Structure 1
Amino acid sequence: MERKMILASHGKFASGILSSLELICGKNANIQTLDCYITEDFDLTKAVDALMQQNEDAEVVVVTDLFGGSVNNEFLRYINKEHFYLVAGMNLPFLIEFATQFTFASDLKETIAMVLNSSKEAIQFCNLTYSTTIAEEDF
């Protein structure tokens, strides 16, 4: 079964982060974006339904920008669909690691959980991390 990833966000965050992801990992035809609310006539339900229909025969991972936001909530309608996975809190460390694994992973649910866990370590308060490292090296 073919696998697809959809990056969906408020504004142009999805297409912007895809640009960064492609710079680092190269282009991947299996990744699509949905930039929401950038036009006055934007209909979120229609846009989501069109994307889901377009990918109805694929295993789909949707990564949204904000848990509990309208974009994430609209995709929640598909949460019980077989071969559908929804992740909120889109960030580049997660996408880099996941994009390099999602095509070949034997179990997407397990891979998502593993990548989520490891990508959390990429979020650091640099002032605290740098200060602690310096203090430890002094002794």
Structure 2
Amino acid sequence: MANILTHLLDLLKPGQAAPKPASAGIAQNQPQAPARPKTQVTLRNERTPGDSRYLGARIAESGDLLIEGQDIGAGVEEFSGSREYEWAWLIAKADLPKLSEALHAETDLLAALQMRFSGPAAAELGQFLTQHGIHYESWSRIGD
């Protein structure tokens, strides 16, 4: 709390006016600029005693879509003999319009991806890509 207070006090040094709220100067009923598309989303982030599962997607600087996952724990060990499994899929920027079309994403590809493949539905993503002929490069690693 003290750090936040110090930071706020630094912002209001003598002779400076208090910052205006973001809404100051915006007339009511004036159209707002459309929200920017997301640059990253979490599709799965599950934690149970002894296990964790994560899957995220982001647009890389190149414009490609990178989907990254990591499973850790006893569940992975039963499947692979190791307690950790990591993987990544890369969908080239040139293939993203095809993915957008398959997801019926009008403006925000990552929001559509998150809506369709969050939580347990994340397990269906690979099959969806294959069914729609969306090419991806893959990488994986098993081991601690």
Shorter-chain TM range is: under 0.3
TM-score, with structure 2 as normaliser: 0.26
Of Structure 1 and Structure 2, the greater strand share is in 2
When Rg is computed on C-alpha atoms for both structures, the one with the higher figure is 2
Higher relative contact order (CA 8 A, sep 6+): 1
Of Structure 1 and Structure 2, the greater helix share is in 1
TM-score, with structure 1 as normaliser: 0.27
